[in-house]
């Protein structure tokens, strides 16, 4: 037994001699770690969560884009109109593109590119987060339309890049920052859309987790300046269905032009938003009442007609807003046929009323400035005649003052509009209880 135990524990003699020669190497040494001073990121992560969110809010939480102003360095802010023409004119920058150049294709192929022609135009509106433009021989517009992989939703109206959001690169630093900053980004900002198609693409491609955190939406109708008309979606019911996909929606701002068509009113009445959702209908300033941009030295707002929008209180907007939250309204019939007939009669009577007045545009111009207390000063003169089309801005503007279905007191514009922002109007309306 002892011999077996000795054989099992004994080591070769050479190993024993080697261990006795180097006794210090046999000692067990604890690994020593270098002591480093905490970095800036370590100090930031050591802060409480509430304080980190407060820091992120200074970078990611911004006002609604309708209130965006041009920066002092923007060329659109400059008084020289020639710079503005170069900013908007694509033909000055697209001669180097194989698709939209002004030279014959044979000349372009033989010379590859004429020496004095600049390179392909890369639009300033192209998103900095978009994929790299791989083909150097086409401009941005041709590349996005024909070569870029789809889908890639983008804003339909961006008059100036000053309206872009800033500091979004914070979301790319690390996963922890992304989780904390993205939650604050989707809960604190008002996501504004200039048309229903942009809103549809944004919500459709958004990750469901962040879609559930969106709480504030501003949706406007797209205005076609060339035709002086509004472009309405073909299926407004689809837009309303995507509004129902936002469970945390608490602030909804809609263009008052949506109340001028029967096919848009019916989906709104069936929307069924939560009772705590605040709904606002806003009236944009008519583009024809805006001063001539070429006569101005400074253009402060990126969207001047939407930056000066007015909150509507009482009357039809309030009744529709309450019906959108599922409240039963006594004037609204239960049956679909009777409801459609009532809304259709409202819109038809109003369109006939406007079409019968040749001076509808001049009438609203005078009334707009009288409401603002500017003494009835209006542009164009009292003898100006304007053709009124279905969907024009004048139709909705005169509804509150010319139609007999709702009195002026029930459908009034917030007083004291001049010099006050839309947020100030909302705060006053909530204090007085004038908005739903």
Q: What is the 3-state secondary structure (H, E, C) of the chain?
A: CHHHHHHHHCCCHHHHHHHHHCCHHHCCCCCCCCCCCCCHHHHHHCCCHHHHHHHHHHHHCCCCHHHCECCCCCHHHCCCHHHHHHHHCCCCCCCCCCCCCCCCHHHHHHHCCCCCCCCCCCCCCCCCCCCCCCCCCCCHHHHHHHHCCCCCCCCCCCCCHHHCCCCHHHHHCCHHHHHHHHHHHHHHCCEEECCHHHHHHHHHHCCHHHHCCCCEEEECCEEECCCCEEECCCCHHHHHHHHCCCCCCCEEEEEHHHHHCHHHHHHHHCCCCCCCCEEEEEECCCHHHCCCHHHCCCCCECCHHHHCCEEEECHHHHHHHHHHCCCCCCCCCCCHHHHHHHHHHHHHHHHHHHHCCCCHHHHHHHHHHHHCCCCCCCCCCCCCCCCCCCCCHHHHHHHHHHCCCCCCCCCEECCCCCCCCHHHHHHHHHHHCCCC
Q: Is the pLDDT of residue 307 over 90?
A: no
Question: In which band, very low, low, confident or very high, does the pLDDT at 384 lie, cut at 50, 70 and 90?
Answer: very low
Q: What percent of the chain has pLDDT over 90?
A: 9
Nearest Cα neighbor of 434 from 318, 274, 276 is 318
Taking all residues of the chain, what is their mean pLDDT, rounded to a whole number? Answer: 69
Residue 381's pLDDT is: 28
Mean pLDDT within 395-405: 41
Strands 251-255 and 310-313: unpaired
Half-sphere exposure of 31 (CA within 13 A, CB side): 1
Question: In which band, very low, low, confident or very high, does the pLDDT at 348 lie, cut at 50, 70 and 90?
Answer: low
- 312 phi and psi, to 5 degrees? -95, 135
Q: Is the pLDDT of residue 42 over 50?
A: yes
Q: 85 and 293 in contact (C-beta within 8 Å)? A: no
Rounded CA-CA distance 309/282 in Å is: 6
Q: Is the pLDDT of residue 129 over 50?
A: yes
Residue 213's pLDDT is: 92
List pLDDT tens digits, range 366-380. Answer: 433 433 333 222 222
Q: Is the pLDDT of residue 10 over 90?
A: no
Nearest Cα neighbor of 274 from 315, 245, 311 is 245
Q: Is the pLDDT of residue 271 over 80?
A: yes
Q: 279 and 324 in contact (C-beta within 8 Å)? A: yes
Mean pLDDT within 247-272: 85
Using a cut of 0.75, tell me whether the model's pTM lies above it. no
Other C-beta atoms within 10 Å of 317: how many?
24
Radius of gyration for the chain, computed over Cα atoms and rounded to the nearest angstrom: 32
Residue 9's pLDDT is: 56
Residue 118's pLDDT is: 55
Q: Is the pLDDT of residue 20 over 50?
A: yes
Mean pLDDT within 316-323: 80
Question: In which band, very low, low, confident or very high, does the pLDDT at 140 lie, cut at 50, 70 and 90?
Answer: confident
Residue 191's pLDDT is: 93
* 373: alpha, beta or left? (left if phi > 0; alpha if psi -120 to 50): left
- Cα–Cα distances (Å) from 45 to 50, 59, 69, 167, in that order, read 11, 17, 34, 19
Rounded CA-CA distance 221/305 in Å is: 12
Residue 83's pLDDT is: 47
Residue 211's pLDDT is: 92
Mean pLDDT within 121-132: 72
Residue 135's pLDDT is: 75
Q: Is the pLDDT of residue 398 over 70?
A: no
Strands 191-193 and 216-219: parallel
Q: Is the pLDDT of residue 159 over 50?
A: yes
Cβ-proximal residues to 324 (8 Å cutoff; 6+ apart), any chain = 268, 269, 271, 272, 273, 279
């Amino acid at each position: 037994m002892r011999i077996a135990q000795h054989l099992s524990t004994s080591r070769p003699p050479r190993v024993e001699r080697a261990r006795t020669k180097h006794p210090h190497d046999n000692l067990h040494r604890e690994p020593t770690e270098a002591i480093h001073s905490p970095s800036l990121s370590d100090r930031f992560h050591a802060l409480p969560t509430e304080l980190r969110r407060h820091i992120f809010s200074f970078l990611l939480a911004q006002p609604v884009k309708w209130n965006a102003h041009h920066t002092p360095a923007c060329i659109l802010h400059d008084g020289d109109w020639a710079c503005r023409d170069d900013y908007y004119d694509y033909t000055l920058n697209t001669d180097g593109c194989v698709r939209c150049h002004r030279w014959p294709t044979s000349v372009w192929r033989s010379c590859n590119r004429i020496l004095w022609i600049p390179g392909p135009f890369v639009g300033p509106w192209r998103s900095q987060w978009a994929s790299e433009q791989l083909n150097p021989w086409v401009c941005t517009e041709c590349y996005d339309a024909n070569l870029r992989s789809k889908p890639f939703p983008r804003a339909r109206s961006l008059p100036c890049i000053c309206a872009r959001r800033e500091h979004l690169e914070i979301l790319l630093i690390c996963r922890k920052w992304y989780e904390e900053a993205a939650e604050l980004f989707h809960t604190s900002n008002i996501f504004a859309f200039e048309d229903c198609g942009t809103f549809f693409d944004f919500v459709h491609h958004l990750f469901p987790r962040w879609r559930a955190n969106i709480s504030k939406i501003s949706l406007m109708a797209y205005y076609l300046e060339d035709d002086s008309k509004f472009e309405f979606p073909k299926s407004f019911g689809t837009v309303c269905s995507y509004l129902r996909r936002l469970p945390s929606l608490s602030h909804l701002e809609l263009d008052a032009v949506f109340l001028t068509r029967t096919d848009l009113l019916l989906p709104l009445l069936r929307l069924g938003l939560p009772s705590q959702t605040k709904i606002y209908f806003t009236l944009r300033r008519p583009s024809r009442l805006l001063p001539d941009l070429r006569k101005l030295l400074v253009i402060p707002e990126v969207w001047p007609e939407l930056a000066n929008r007015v909150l509507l209180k009482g009357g039809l907007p309030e009744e529709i807003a309450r019906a959108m939250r599922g409240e039963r309204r006594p004037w609204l019939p239960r049956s679909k046929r009777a409801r459609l007939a009532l809304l259709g009669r409202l819109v038809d009577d109003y369109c006939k009323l406007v079409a019968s007045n040749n001076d509808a545009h001049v009438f609203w111009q005078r009334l707009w400035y009288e409401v603002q207390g500017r003494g009835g000063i209006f542009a164009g003169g009292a003898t100006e005649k304007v053709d009124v089309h279905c969907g024009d801005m004048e139709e909705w503007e005169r509804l509150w003052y010319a139609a007999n279905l709702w009195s002026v007191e029930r459908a009034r514009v917030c007083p004291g509009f001049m010099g006050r922002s839309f947020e100030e109007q909302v705060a006053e309306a909530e204090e007085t209880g004038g908005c739903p």
